Structure formats: structure tokens, C-alpha cells
Amino acid sequence: MILAGDVGGTNVRLALFEVERGKLVRKDEKTFRSRDVSGLEQPVEEFLAGRRVAASGIGVAGPVRNGRCEATNLPWVVDAAVLAKSLALPRVALVNDLFANALGLGELGPADFAVVNAGIEDPEGNAALISAGTGLGEAYLVRVSGRFVPQASEGGHASFAPRNPFEIDLLGYLQRTYSHVSFERVLSGPGLAALYAFERGGSDEREPAWLSEEIAASGDASPAVTAAALAGKDAVAARVLEHFVAIYGGEAGNLALKVLATGGVFVGGGIAPKILPKLLDGTFFGAFCDKGRFAALLAKIPVRVVTNDLCALLGAARAGAEAAPDPQRRRDG
């Protein structure tokens, strides 16, 4: 049995997998609210409830160095050695969350994606993954001997680069709060809420009472604004989602250029499936291709949205399985 974890700013998802005929099969899963636990050891102990595992892989939002990660959107330090000791394992594979997502792509099939652009896949080209959720993750996949090898990055924390007068004004608005405005400050759940505050504040359209009530009830503007936009119930919300998706597409295009992702660009994370109709209406891909002389190159790149929410857990489980000692090798040695 393999323990897999996906640690984010909102949730800690844990699952147990078994390898059956070479495929990872989920056997159990539980989600914990990240803010309700003091560290990873507590939910792991509760979830396992005495069950033993043969391997473990954990994906966490933040840079991993020497088996240790100071989580980006949580006041936690996740330490692979500590987890390995508590699980009685020789090693726990601790990886960046986008590295885990990238590994998980290899476990998915055609039905696990929605196609933004079919494109023409370059069999020799690299690929890229961009994922907006509580934060913004980015990773790239280098083609080596015909297969993708994921590489983690912290590209979501690169400086936000406005592309038009609206985005220039948005940058000025965010700079009143943050000394450094990264793409994550815009392309995330909190970023969408900030974008809504900016757009509503600059508009003469008052917030409808029903929308105020929905925002107050959830304690987070993002889901209420998104739902209102997709339902066509509020013009300001609709403009916010339009801007959000355009900025998302523009940064996905930036990433594609940086890693020359002619093998494809994948859009993951928790937000994408919730706004899928908007991602497919041309706004995202139009901004993706809006790169002047390189528009024709980008127009050929396949772009797909990951719709299987097990992707990160599958990748973490695969990392754990690959890091586990080989019992046959131990017997032979």
C-alpha cells in the first residue's frame, strides 16, 4: 500500500493506493482542512489509524530542499525524515506539488482532459503545466528519451507583467498592498477576490444584495463571483472572470515560450474545472497566442485542462512508489 498526500494552502488530501497490473488504484481517501491541523503528522496519523504502508509520496506547495519544505501558503515545515520515522519507512518522497501534478499526468487518459486547443503535438518537444488554486503553481516537463521528466519551479511567484491599460491599473492597485506583486497575487483564489474588489471599486455598479449575502455566507468572494459570472447574473462578476481568464491564458503563453512547450501545455489546479466553460470560449487561448511574432508557434501547441482531481495524488503516489526500495534488490543483495 502506498500513502499519497497533496498538501495545499486550503486542503490536505491523503489517499492510499495499490499498484494493480502496473496501474495505481485508489483504495481510500480523506481530506483535511489545512488550517484545522498544526502540521502533516497529525492528519497522517489520523488517516492511517494504525495501517501500515510500504511507501509514501507527498506533494507540498513550496520549494523542496534536502527533503524539507517550508510551505508557501501555510505556517508549516514539512520534513521527509520526520514523516519517514513516524511511518517506519526508510524514505518518504517529498516533492513540490506541481512536480507531483506533472508526474500524475502520466497516469491519466484522454477522458481526463478537456481540450482547449487540439494543436499539433511535437513528439520531440517539452511540455508545461500551470495550475491556479489557493496559489499559482508552474512546472515544466523535459522530453528525455521519448518520455517527459518533470521539473519543479516557482514560476508563479515571478513578477506580474501587465499587458494592457486595465492590467497596468490592476498592478498599481495591488502594489498598494504588496511590495512584490507576483502572478500568484492575481491567478489564484485570493487573486480572483482581489480582482473583484478592484473591478467593483472602479465601477458605478453597486454590488447586488444577493451577491453580498453569498459572499458573506462563504467568507470568500471567489466562488460566489465565479458562479455569478458563469450564470450571467452580474455584469461586474462577468468582467472579472473575463479578465482573470485572459491573464491566465497570457501567463500560460509566457510559460510555453519560456520552456518551448511544443509538446503541450496542461492547465491544472482546483480553479480550472470550476470555470471550464469560460476556459473553452476562446478567451484563454486568444491571450495564450497573443505574443506578436510567436503567435503562429503558440497556435500549434496543444492545450488541455486536467479534469481528473486525482492527478496530484496519483503523481505523489508514483513518486513514493519510485522512491521505495526494491524488495527483490534487497533479497538479491
Report percent pLDDT > 70 for the chain. 97
Residue 330's pLDDT band, with cuts at 50, 70 and 90, is very low
Q: pLDDT by residue (tens digit) across 37-46?
A: 888 888 999 9
DSSP 109-148: -GGGEEEEE-----TT--EEEEEESSSEEEEEEEEETTEE
List the grid coordinates of 202.
Answer: 472602479
Residue 332's pLDDT band, with cuts at 50, 70 and 90, is very low
Q: Give the pTM.
A: 0.91
In this prediction, residue 10 carries a pLDDT of 84
The CATH number for 109-307, chosen from 3.20.20.70, 3.40.367.20, 3.40.50.360, 3.90.1170.40, is 3.40.367.20
In this prediction, residue 21 carries a pLDDT of 85
List the beta strands (DSSP E) in 10-146. Answer: 11-20, 23-33, 55-60, 64-65, 68-70, 77-79, 93-96, 113-117, 127-132, 136-144
- Say what the alpha-carbon torsion angle 212, 217, 221, 225 is, to the nearest 10 degrees: -70
Domain 2-99 is found in CATH 3.30.420.40 = yes
Mean pLDDT of 19-35: 91
Q: pLDDT by residue (tens digit) across 252-284?
A: 999 999 999 999 999 999 999 999 999 999 999
In this prediction, residue 205 carries a pLDDT of 94
In this prediction, residue 326 carries a pLDDT of 60
Q: Domains of the chain: which residue ranges?
A: 2-99, 109-307
Q: Would you say 303 and 265 are in contact if contact means Cβ atoms under 8 Å apart?
A: yes
